[in-house]
Homo-oligomer: A and B are copies of this chain.
């Protein structure tokens, strides 16, 4: 049987109120009493009932994280690293983390959000893989429920987020390929509904044009962000005649799949074909050859959105602050930013090189 405040109160001959306040360290309880209560609590093995505390305090000290899992074999190193960042940061702030896996844009996903918000299951929620016309964001905004997103959206409303500049990132890697002399550069894109997909495709397209290259629709193949998807998309691209001399994938996992597909055809990556990715997951560095990619600080992003969410909940972050250049950073004590766009970094490794002769 678990020990409650009432048990302690009975044991030390005080009221529940006094025991509670003694343990909480209020100064309207005598020092001696406090010590006596503390000792009794320890001796009896008291541990506060977390649920009861939640109900009384009208907050749950819990963050919710609804993971969009497209299929059962959700084998994504990107995600586990993000979760580590979120989980560790939540722990640092004494918040629990509620995780739910739901297939994106499903009725179950919608119901999950309703449950969290209306059932007061958590104090805030983290949204990842933002989508065009994202109903999750619309819903949370409407309900003015605290949330922070990893990624922007195209809704009119302003909300707190952290995002990498996908457009600039793809510009970097596309320009890199162009600088190496590539003229036929394929793209393995992502599900079109994802915001970052739009931005990355645009960055790719615009950079091609800026280099006098006309984007060729046949060189853009949809991918599902898995290695298998990258493998298959690359097979399609490599069957073209003439085939592209470079392939850029919208994430590293697909880039690795693309490398395998090319290697299966006997192509040497970095010579016969250049491959570029996005994310810089640890796998990229120790691939063969090491993958040229755009770095995204996944763990830190996880930490950051979590920290922002905690601040938002605790009222240390203005919920609807627009980015505002006129905001003076007076007194050194600048308010925390609510909309962060990270500058991407190109990591050049051996998977990219000049095109082969006649490329």
Q: Tell me the A residues contacting B by CB distance below 8 Å.
A: 2, 45, 47-52, 54-55, 60, 65, 67, 69, 72-81, 83-85, 87-88, 91, 96-102, 108, 114-115, 118-121, 226-228, 231, 256-257, 259-261, 263-264, 281-283, 285-288, 298-299
In the assembled complex, the Cα of A79 lies from the Cα of B74 at a distance in Å of 9
Q: CA–CA, A49 to B80, complex, Å?
A: 31
Interface residues of A: mostly helix, strand, loop or mixed?
Answer: helix
Query: Could you list 12 examples of A-B contacts with CB < 8 Å?
Result: A49-B55, A49-B119, A51-B55, A51-B121, A74-B83, A75-B80, A91-B100, A91-B101, A96-B100, A98-B99, A260-B288, A261-B286
User: Complex formed: what's the CA distance from A306 to B91 in Å?
Assistant: 24
CB–CB B88/A101 < 8 A: yes
Tell me the complex Cα distance, A176–B228, Å: 27
Chain B residues lying within 8 Å of A108, measured Cβ to Cβ, are: 91
A115: chain B residues within 8 A (beta carbon): 47, 50
When distances are taken between beta carbons in the complex, the residues of chain B under 8 Å from A100 are: 87, 91, 96-97
- Give the docked Cα–Cα distance between A299 and B72 (Å): 7
Number of copies: 2
Whole-angstrom distance from the CB of A309 to the nearest CB of chain B?
Answer: 16
Complex contacts, A285 vs chain B, CB 8 Å? 228
Contact of A47 among B49, B76, B118, B281 (CB under 8 A): B118
A234 to chain B, nearest CB (A): 10
Neighbouring B residues of A45 by C-beta, 8 Å: 118
Q: Which residue of B lies closest to A3 (CB)?
A: B118
- Interface contact A47-B99, CB-CB below 8 Å: no
